[in-house]
Chains A and B, each alone.
Chain A
Amino acid sequence: MRNSLFKKLLSGPYIFWIVGFTVLPLLVIAYYAFTQNGQFTLANITAITQYAHWKALAISLVLALLCTFVCLLISFPLALVLRNLSLAKGHLARGRNNMIVMLFILPMWINFLLRSYAWQMILSRNGLLNGFLSLLHLPKLHIYNTPWAILLGMIYDFLPFMILPVYNAMIKIDQDVINAAYDLGATKQTTLRKIIFPLSLPGIISGITMVFVPSISEFAIANLLGGGKILLIGNIIEQEFSEGNNWNLGSGLSLILMIFIIISMLFTAKYDKNGEGGTLL
């Protein structure tokens, strides 16, 4: 008895953490979202139908989807190449592989604000990119302050979150399973489609969630690379809480955003039965 009581007590700090830093804040958000001056109202939720708001949500959605798609487009072939490289026998090959993966995730260890400032330097009107282009006598590119700059920054920031789970899932596939498909008459394309892709799906799904969720609520990159001209839903929420000083509206829009996040989480839970996402690091 005493033993089990002791075990329960051990979970105390974690329960405190979850209640204090997850459950309570959510309740506070919900309270603000459904009230205005202490009165119950749905106005903060329905505010999403205002043009500026749903336009911001739409841009966020499109950018998040594009970002997720491009990350996947880069990660899947990369993981495939790394997998094939790792089939070469010996420690050297394994060391080299870890090195390559490391190079791709290395930027993750640098503060993302610093990374975004670096992109600002590169993309700005008289930045590195345009300097390089004028050296080649090519016309200047005006990427800075456009959605493309935000997209680029998001892809750069979130790519490691896609590479790791996809690579982890793919490296786990037994080469004999792939050989068995060849042996049964499948071409390389068929094997890729029917064997390798379905077997790396858990990793792909985790990667999608881990890129999509942070990118749909993104606002800092939009501030730095979008020049404050392009408002994402994250920017609007941030402004309502800070400059607008309307916590109720900010909370209402947050709840709407949360619906999209929950949908993508349900999507993961359905496919990611092995907790592939847990193998992130």
Chain B
Amino acid sequence: MANKLIELCGISKSYGSNQILDDMNLYFNENRFLTLLGPSGCGKTTTLRIMAGFETPDTGKVLFDGVDITNMPPNKRPLNTVFQKYALFTHMNIAENIAFGLKIKNKSKAYIDDKIKYALKLVNLDGYEKRMPDSLSGGQQQRIAIARAIVNEPKVLLLDEPLGALDLKLRQSMQYELIRLKNELGITFVYVTHDQEEALTMSDTIVVMNQGYIQQIGTPEDIYNEPENAFVADFIGESNIISSTMVEDKLVNILGTNFKCVDVGFGQNRPVDVVIRPEDIELLSPEKGIITGRVTSVLFKGVHYEMEVMANGREWLVHSTVMKNVSDEVGLYVDPFNIQIMNKPESEDEEAVKIDA
């Protein structure tokens, strides 16, 4: 337990009558790429701002390396932030921007010059010292913002949707850049995003949030393959979420047909939610499928065809590289291993969960 780097204990925060975070508990260790993922208004940015010190929680504590920093002002905290809209100092050139934090700490000129060179090299912008922020593209400005933060050698870098303002192509190349940076620096990145693809690509650990509650914590694989509830399943990629009944261990009744699965321990005849990813449904000839249905629409999506199949009174979303025609009769088969069973939520708000990151 000694290596918990940041720990949030029972954090609650509300603006007026609007509860943003409710009794949130979360901790993570050194050298992680942790992503807070959720729709807008889920409390992910507020969580980040509480870590940075721009917001004070109504209740709860923030611990850094075991020390309570809840009431420590941002300028004393050993972490740095990269903002969504760069927040560069437009009246200073790039070198002055990067040197800002170091000058405040009264570092020597030689040390600062070395650091500027090193940081610019790290973000692939050597020779930009004398440029003004306005003359740089969005992607370059964001890399300067990262350089400005990391020269201070924080143990944690907080990134608030840093790629949100960039176009798709640039966003993808910056994702690789960030992974590389994190590995070279060996520090913890806490990354806030609403983009599930970004989260899956970069993270070691993803924290899925909704309405101020943590929905699930896990590796990208865990979150994608074994979502704990319908919200997570729906938010992380497309899926078929079907209200079903667990007949007994390893057997689930979906829309009137029994499917074999691998989950046990849900009891007998319990209502559950079933998640089946569209790429896990195989389209076979009608007699080979577990159920049969009729194709109602086909869309070409590049790497696959996206099809909807009407079966057992429901549209099933299917991704397949094999194209069928509309109104073809098909058999649907799902490997037992690919059927994910989830407890139905007891209320709108899921209990906050604590999982070793």
Chain B residues within 8 Å of A186, by CB: 75, 100, 104
CB distance from B56 to the nearest CB of A (A): 14
- Contact residues of A with B, CB < 8 Å? 89-90, 174, 176-177, 179-187, 190, 194-195, 198-199, 201
Indicate which residue in B76, B83, B90 contacts A179 across the interface (CB closer than 8 Å). B83
- Contact residues of B with A, CB < 8 Å? 15-16, 52-54, 73-77, 80-81, 83-85, 87-91, 100-101, 104-105, 145, 148-149, 152
CA distance A181 to B88 in the complex (A): 9
Q: Which residue of A lies closest to B90 (CB)?
A: A199
Given A89-B15, A195-B89, A198-B91, do A183 and B73 touch, yes or no (CB 8 Å)? no
Given A183-B52, A184-B152, do A177 and B89 touch, yes or no (CB 8 Å)? yes
Given A183-B52, A185-B152, A187-B75, do A176 and B101 touch, yes or no (CB 8 Å)? no
B73→A179 contact, CB < 8 A: no
Q: Is the interface of A mostly helix, strand, loop or mixed?
A: helix
CA distance A201 to B91 in the complex (A): 10
Known: A184-B148, A185-B101, A199-B91. 7 other contacts (CB 8 A): A176-B83, A179-B81, A179-B87, A183-B81, A184-B104, A185-B152, A186-B104
Nearest first, the 10 closest Cβ-Cβ pairs linking A and B are: A184-B101, A176-B87, A180-B87, A182-B74, A176-B83, A185-B104, A198-B91, A177-B87, A183-B81, A182-B75
Given A89-B15, A176-B85, A190-B104, do A183 and B75 touch, yes or no (CB 8 Å)? yes
CB distance from B171 to the nearest CB of A (A): 20
Chain A residues within 8 Å of B52, by CB: 179, 183
Chain B residues within 8 Å of A187, by CB: 75
For this complex, 20 residue pairs linking A to B, each with C-beta atoms less than 8 Å apart, are A174-B85, A176-B83, A177-B88, A177-B89, A179-B74, A179-B81, A180-B83, A180-B145, A182-B73, A182-B74, A183-B77, A183-B80, A183-B149, A184-B100, A184-B101, A184-B149, A184-B152, A185-B75, A185-B76, A186-B100
CA distance A89 to B87 in the complex (A): 20
A180→B90 contact, CB < 8 A: no
Most A CB atoms within 10 A — which of B73, B89, B90?
Answer: B89
